Amino acid sequence: MERYIFNECVYTGAGSRECLIEELSNRKFKKVLLVTDDVIIKTGVAKKVSDVLDRGGYKYSIFYDIKPNPTVENVQAGYRALKKSRADVIIAVGGGSVIDTAKAMSIIATNKKHLDVVSLSGAVKTENKAFPLIAIPTTSGTGAEVTINYVITDTIKKKKMVCVDPNDIPIMSIVDAELMSSMPKGLTASTGMDALTHAIESLICKGATQFSDMFALESIRTIAKYLIIAYKDGNNIEAREKMAFAQYVVGMGFSNVGLGIVHSMAHPLGGRFDVAHGVANAMLLPTVMKYNAESDSKPKYRLIAECFGLKTTGCTDDKCVTMAVNVVKKLAKELNIPTSLSEFGIELKDLDILSEDAYSDICTGGNPRSTSVKDIKNLYKSLLK
């Protein structure tokens, strides 16, 4: 038996944020808590959404105290802001950090025994559906607007908590590429590689299905064609729309079938060294792909290579693995992704705790190749240059 969970509704396309007025009216919502961050406010992106609310005559409060790697404290502060606002719906406008924070806020708002937030770590079956949440992404990478996952940092343990809960999924997503045009090149690169990591990991993970493969392969094909264009020309609305599409469809896939140790290893890099999640994934992806090829997933590397337009006729599976790994490595280089963990102050002495954290991460169970703390440490070590 297979189970798939998606949003109730999604709007896509440039300018699709305009649907808010009708949707809020149809759903009988009266007051909004707009959750975002200071960067989204300073760049004027949040105003593009609040202007719609103004035109519709909706009252709203704003909460924006959210870090790039959101913390338990951010979630709790957001919950207090929600109570104070007396809003009946949350609208999250931002990248994965903002949407993840809003998802955690919405869960504790209806499940009070989890107000500590840390008790939500892992696959927790909460009793009640989350507080109504509409997610509007401003980056093309996390897919947070359609997943049943969110990631929050436990600052005491210095550990990223991966929380998996079907109750947290937003009731609606609005994927409006016009809100993504202000992304700087570095963020375009890292979030795009995050989406690619989701696609490749969900394609080769243990839980992959024919249904999820459909999402993963379409996402890889789209990213292979449009990420570089979006990176070089942020105002190219076609490339922005295609990348927005790619992140959304792969979110539909990996949310339901899982990921692997690229994410397991990326999470402690963020939790302990504040490495941006997309950057961590991009650094790790080619190395872990090569490691994971020694598994039943090897034949799928041919599909990855073909999605990048490479010809594989007559090639052995081993040759296709090399082709797939090299084309992903080439893409990361073109996007100026860092190549060494040392650039973030990580040293050999740090690898033991990083490896333990990664091995215990919830994503490890989905990895196509059985692994160990020692294997993970060796993978980290290969990126200390």
* Structural domains in the chain plus CATH codes: 9-180 (3.40.50.1970), 185-382 (1.20.1090.10)
Q: Rounded to an integer, what distance in angstroms lies between the CA atom of residue 33 and that of residue 137?
A: 16
Q: Rounded to an integer, what distance in angstroms lies between the CA atom of residue 177 and that of residue 199?
A: 20
For residues 134 and 11, the answer to whether their CB atoms sit within 8 Å is no
Give the relative orientation of helices 237-257 and 185-204 as an angle to the nearest 10 degrees: 40
Check residue 59 and report its DSSP letter.
E
Q: What pLDDT score does 181 carry?
A: 87
Q: Rounded to an integer, what distance in angstroms lies between the CA atom of residue 40 and that of residue 131?
A: 23
Q: Output the six-digit token pair for 132.
A: 């109504």
Q: Output the six-digit token pair for 326.
A: 């090299």
Q: Rounded to an integer, what distance in angstroms lies between the CA atom of residue 114 and that of residue 240?
A: 37
Q: Rounded to an integer, what distance in angstroms lies between the CA atom of residue 328 and that of residue 27?
A: 43
Name the phi and psi angles at 133, rounded to 5: -135, 130
For residues 192 and 223, the answer to whether their CB atoms sit within 8 Å is yes
Picking from 14, 49, 9, the residue whose alpha carbon sits closest to that of residue 245 is 14
Burial status of residue 358 (CB atoms within 10 A of its CB: 0-12, 13-18, 19 or more):
buried
Q: What pLDDT score does 32 carry?
A: 98
Picking from 121, 107, 262, 268, the residue whose alpha carbon sits closest to that of residue 194 is 262
Picking from 243, 257, 262, the residue whose alpha carbon sits closest to that of residue 210 is 257
Q: For each of the chain's 385 residues, which pLDDT tens digit applies?
A: 788 889 999 999 999 999 999 999 999 999 999 999 999 999 999 999 999 999 999 999 999 999 999 999 999 999 999 999 999 999 999 999 999 999 999 999 999 999 999 999 999 999 999 999 999 999 998 999 999 999 999 999 999 999 999 999 999 999 999 999 889 999 999 999 999 999 999 999 999 999 999 999 999 999 999 999 999 999 999 999 999 999 999 999 999 999 999 999 999 999 999 999 999 999 999 999 999 999 999 999 999 999 999 999 999 999 999 999 999 999 999 999 999 999 999 999 999 999 999 999 999 999 999 999 999 999 999 999 7
Burial status of residue 155 (CB atoms within 10 A of its CB: 0-12, 13-18, 19 or more):
middle
- pTM for this prediction: 0.94
Give the relative orientation of helices 261-273 and 185-204 as an angle to the nearest 10 degrees: 140
Q: What pLDDT score does 113 carry?
A: 97
